[in-house]
Amino acid sequence: MKATKAPEILQVPVAEFDTSHLPAGARQPGTDAFEQAVLTHFALKYAERGWNAAVTVDNAHIRVVAVPQEGVEPKDYVVGLLQHGFLEEALPILEALDGMLDDADIAYNHGICLSELGRTEESVTPLRRCLELDPGYTNAAVGLGVAFARLHRDDEAAEALRTALAQDPGNVFALRNLAAVLGRRGKLTEALPLFRQALAVAPGEAEVRYALAQCLEQLGGEHRAEAKSLYKQIIQDHPRHPVADAAIASANRMAGDDLHGAVEGKPRMDAVMYMQGAMDTFADLPRDQVGQIVMEIARLGQSGLAINDPDRRYTLKSLPGDYSGLHLICLMHVGFRLFDPSTDPGTGLQREYELALAMRGASK
């Protein structure tokens, strides 16, 4: 079998290029010497491999397209474009090849390219064509299911994703997308085992863990404790992941529900009193110290605070005394609002804050 030799396509910002590869007198971007040295560097680099390289240099980027001297097949060329993110450039070639060849790979890449470019509805036809050419092309079934899901054609999405899972039961993309489709249709009990299976296949994926937590939270009842635990794990294990903010918001929302569940949905008067005390305390402190207190509580909150257990006590380095979890949350809420009155600290205690403000104003 002939080894695939896709072209190599580079786009390197001039500011990030390692000039140590160039002669000492040719390392200043923007000069003729720099441009000539860069052209020579890449030409020699690829010539050693028996490749030809086309190189351009401008003030912003160095661009390189390198191909083997013996040439490159059109299919290999377009795959190289896709691998390096040149979707717009690849699309017209894929369209032409898909019209000329009965090739499942070409049809699949054509559909995925359209999908990645946001042309979801157009992606359906080439993905279906791929499956007609090769019914066992699992990735095409997954891609088709995802396309249908984005178009809210849920029955067709579920059918395509089940086809993919029949071929590859551990396909995490099929599992998570089928579970999401079922969850969107309110079939949470059917979605739950699929989310669990997806997490077992990909235990390190924060998105899968978050989707499972959401499913558990919506199911409610005995599942709430596990949802809280999963949100906590996401916050601890993936603090810089984009989904961490969503997990924090979800955890805070659940905490707010628990807070008010203890008083049948009525305002928490103990929280109101804590907030009034926080307003008085912070009024006598420098703003930078208030900031230290708020940040310390926020860090503690990432590990979870026992909001409804007044016997569980916490201490702060930035403020003397010992505090219940609810007291700390109230201090944090007041502190955040002190710095930005428009912010939502996500504690679920906004009613209590507004009531504390009104009562404090009335007492003056």
Alpha-carbon span 28 to 230, nearest angstrom? 52
Nearest residue to 38 (alpha-carbon basis) of 67, 9, 63: 63
Task: Report whether 176 contacts 211 (CB < 8 A).
Answer: yes
Q: Give the model's confidence band at 72: pLDDT under 50 very low, under 70 low, under 90 confident, else very high.
A: low
| Averaged pLDDT score across all residues of the chain | 87
Q: Give the model's confidence band at 359: pLDDT under 50 very low, under 70 low, under 90 confident, else very high.
A: confident
Residue 170 belongs to a domain = no
Alpha-carbon span 176 to 211, nearest angstrom? 8
Residue 43 belongs to a domain = yes
pTM, full prediction:
0.60
Residue 15 belongs to a domain = yes
**How many angstroms separate the Cα of 37 from the Cα of each of 21, 54, 57, 85, 305?**
9, 14, 10, 27, 60
What sign for the dihedral angle of Cα 232, 234, 238, 239? negative
Q: In the beta sheet, which residues pair with residue 68? A: 51
Owning domain of residue 67: 8-71
Residue 312 belongs to a domain = yes
More confident residue, 144 or 48: 144
Residue 236 belongs to a domain = no
Number of domains in the chain: 2
Residue 279 belongs to a domain = yes
Task: Report whether 79 contacts 49 (CB < 8 A).
Answer: no
The answer to which of 72-86, 169-183, 335-349 has the lowest mean pLDDT is 72-86
Helix (H) or strand (E) holding 268: none
- Enumerate long-range contacts of 25-30, CB under 8 Å, 24 or more apart: 29/59, 30/59
Query: Which residue is associated with the tokens 């077992």?
Result: 200
Looking at 50, 71, 92, the residue that finishes a domain is 71
Residue 100 belongs to a domain = no
Looking at 71, 99, 124, the residue that finishes a domain is 71
Q: In the beta sheet, which residues pair with residue 62? A: 12, 57
Does the pLDDT of residue 296 top 90, yes or no?
A: yes
Residue 330 belongs to a domain = yes
Q: Average pLDDT in the 143-160 region?
A: 96
- The widest CA-to-CA distance across the chain, in whole angstroms, is 88
Helices and strands in the chain: count of H runs, count of E runs: 16, 5
Q: Average pLDDT in the 130-139 region?
A: 97
CB neighbours (10 Å) of residue 122?
14
Looking at 71, 101, 121, the residue that finishes a domain is 71
Alpha-carbon span 327 to 274, nearest angstrom? 6
Alpha-carbon span 101 to 109, nearest angstrom? 13
Q: Could you give the percent of the chain with pLDDT greater than 70? A: 92
